[in-house]
Amino acid sequence: MKKLFLSVIFMYLGILASFSQSSPKSDSAYKSRKLTFEEANLVSSYYRQDGNNAATTGGTGSEKLTDFSNTIDVKFSLYDRHFRKHSLTGEIGIDHYTSASSDKIDPSTLSSASHADTRIYPSVGWTMENTDKGTTIGGGISFSNEFDYKSFGANLSFSKKTNNRNGEFSAKIQAYLDKVSLIYPIELRTNTGGGRGDDGNDYGSSNRNSYSAALAWSQIINDKFQVLLEAEAIYQKGYLGLPFHRVYFTDNTVHVENLPSTRMKIPLGIRANYFIGDKLILRSWYRNYHDDWGINSNTAQLETVWKITPFVSVTPFYRFYQQSGADYFAPYRVHTGPDEFYTSNYDLSKFTSHFYGAGFRIAPPQGVFNIQHLNSLELRYGHYQRTTGLNSDIISLNLKFR
């Protein structure tokens, strides 16, 4: 992973060096019609978790997992002859994870193929902003690939600012067309169906499609207070469980998780930012979520940005989350024969959770470490714990180049 990280760094700096020499002319009335580098971000993070309710082993067993992630995004822009700004973004992410519970799909192996995996997910996006009309349109496509899951995504977006530029309406639609490999627990595999073999060549697959539409309204109330209202509807259809999630019934028989083939989700949220002087910003967020599987949840988050100097800031944050359990969830050996749908995945159980931590950001005018194009550096740490016993830690580093 060290070699992978260094390769990502060198590739990133190479891209930056290729474009950092070109910049728009100083005349503010001039609009460059050449593709110009705007900014780039490199985000690296390390995540670890532990718990004792793994869905792979029926709601019991180790949930230990580690994930090392790197993402790079680069943004370019140009103006057309009508002075509309076109922005082109490209992003690629690489995650590598190890999972103790996934290795229990076939406990007889010393270390199965699913014990560790690498996910690669590139995406590209485009927007066109008309500053005179206050409108922006955009679109993008994405792809994600790992050992047992493939996903293709596409999106379209539109936004319109009010005449005084204090309000903005935005809308976005997205679609994800996914394919799930049917890797069953070893004891539930057959010689005639999917899920055979150890190398993935004989695994069957099933589709999972997701469609969403989101609306948002942002408003500047005054020079200190801003709010954003957001609503979304998400519809999923297809194979919505995972084939290697075991469920143990009261008679100790083992089954593959079985969930409905459709799901409707409706989250509603509000964000509010308040500027207390020049050195303190309060950011708050609340979301209510409901779906037709019986889950209702509430999320509340507060983040404080404290500027120690104009170029150095710290950001402590706290998030509280509470959800009711899905209608189809039950713990180990609680489901019975008459149950039509069943799961022992504790992500669908009733629980509350807490996530808290802080970030540290520097953005000196001469560049971080006196590197002119290294615009800012941010380091964040967060700790997560929930009432089911799951706990995790994540640390991330964000480098911004301009």
Euclidean distance between CA atoms 245 and 59, whole angstroms? 9
Per-residue DSSP letter, 259: -
Q: How far apart are CA 337 and CA 124, in angstroms?
A: 47
Token reading at 157:
């977006």
The pLDDT of residue 278:
86
**Residue 315: its pLDDT value, please?**
98
CB 333 within 8 A of CB 339: no
Backbone phi, psi, residue 57, to 5°: -110, 30
pLDDT tens string 291-349 = 999 999 999 999 999 999 999 999 999 999 999 999 999 999 999 999 999 999 999 99
Domains in the chain with CATH codes: 2-401 (2.40.160.40)
Amino acid identity, position 36: T
Q: DSSP state, 343?
A: B
Q: Which amino acid is at 269?
A: G
SS3 state of residue 369: helix
What pLDDT was estimated at residue 343?
97
Pairwise CA distance, residues 383 & 373, whole Å: 32
**pLDDT at position 109:** 55
Residues recorded for the chain: 402
Rg from Cα positions in the chain: 24
Phi (first) and psi of residue 58, to 5 degrees: 80, 25
**pLDDT at res. 316:** 98
Max Cα separation, the chain? Answer: 78
Residues of the chain with pLDDT under 50: 1-2, 4-13, 15-28, 110-113, 192-201
Helix (H) or strand (E) holding 11: helix 2-19
Torsion, Cα of 219, 220, 224, 227 (10° steps):
10
Q: What is the pLDDT of residue 203?
A: 76
CA 59, CA 384: separation in Å to the nearest integer? 20
Q: What angle do CA 356, 118, 238 make, to 5 degrees?
A: 85
pLDDT of residue 192: 41
* Rounded Cα gap, residues 391 and 395, in angstroms: 14
